[in-house]
Amino acid sequence: MRRDQRLVDLFIAGYNKQFGTNFKVVERPDETNRAMPAIEAIAHDPRVGSFAIEHTLVQPFMGEKEDNQRFNAAIACLERDVALRVPGHMIMVSTRVGAIPKGKRIDWDDVGNTVEKWFEGVKDGLPEGGSVHSVPNLPFLLEVSLTKKKMRPEVAALFVMRTGMPDDFGQVVRRALETKLPKLTSTPADKRALLLEMDSAPRSPFEVGDQIGLLQQEFPHLREVDEAWCALTLAWETEGIVHFFLVWPQADNVWFEAAEPSCKGSSELTNQ
């Protein structure tokens, strides 16, 4: 089963427990109707009727996925290597969004190895506080900000991050609505929901809801959508848990968490 189908099924299972419904997927239109754009799933409950659900991934800024791939190849390897940690210290390594350029001919394994060897050579001699460095022997200029802080003797921590995130989240949400609303609202159903997935931490579900609220005059078809939910999938692959937040229409504290039965995490669904 595809990842997006698994997420929709998990959402439906959690929705049923949360609201006492009995929806079951009866059709996956994007598989059965390949001739034109179609939604992920149609579920049915004998008491409620049909429930149309469309899923999309919402990035924290335009082009985040591509930038994240390059960041992971060049920098994230540092955090995974415990041998690079300095006892008694916490070190934070950061680059600006867009600092690592695209390059079809770049050997990313070689880039990661070069950055790792460079950091191994400088980590012990870093001054306390912040410093900025240019990583040598790369096919592009890469500036890295390092912050070293003295901690308890038993602590050895290393974190990597990106800074300077573009302020274009409204454009991200607008594009999601432009792409997904026509498919969702053209699907005959008694109930419709937009499922917006977030798999990274820089933005919150409530920012998604705020942006939809700002854009609702621009997208009158939103009136034909009953609910918009945000699915936080940061812990899905590691812990099997997804958190679902109702973000539009905005409501206080309407959320639940769900875990896949095959995962070790709790399979309980909770609401606050």
The DSSP code for 223 is: G
Question: In Å, how far from its chain's centre is CA 129?
Answer: 31
C-alpha span between 215 and 33 (Å, rounded): 30
C-alpha span between 241 and 234 (Å, rounded): 8
pTM of the model: 0.75
Query: In this structure, which topology does domain 3-62+167-259 adopt according to CATH?
Result: Trna Endonuclease; Chain: A, domain 1 (3.40.1350)
Q: Write down the pLDDT at residue 96.
A: 92
Which are the contacts of 113, defined by CB distance < 8 A and separation ≥ 6? none
Q: Write down the pLDDT at residue 162.
A: 85
The two tokens of residue 271 are: 């609401």
The two tokens of residue 139 are: 């096919």
pLDDT tens readout for residues 169-191:
999 999 999 999 999 999 999 99
Residue spans of the chain under pLDDT 50: 263-272
Gyration radius of the chain's alpha carbons:
22
For residue 59, with 0-12 CB atoms within 10 Å meaning exposed, 13-18 middle and 19 or more buried, which class applies? buried
Which are the contacts of 184, defined by CB distance < 8 A and separation ≥ 6? 39, 52, 54, 192, 194, 225
CA angle, corner 147, sides to 146 and 148, nearest 5?
120
Q: Write down the pLDDT at residue 262.
A: 60
Domain boundaries, the chain: 3-62+167-259, 65-163
The two tokens of residue 237 are: 């692959």
Q: Write down the pLDDT at residue 235.
A: 81
C-alpha span between 236 and 244 (Å, rounded): 12
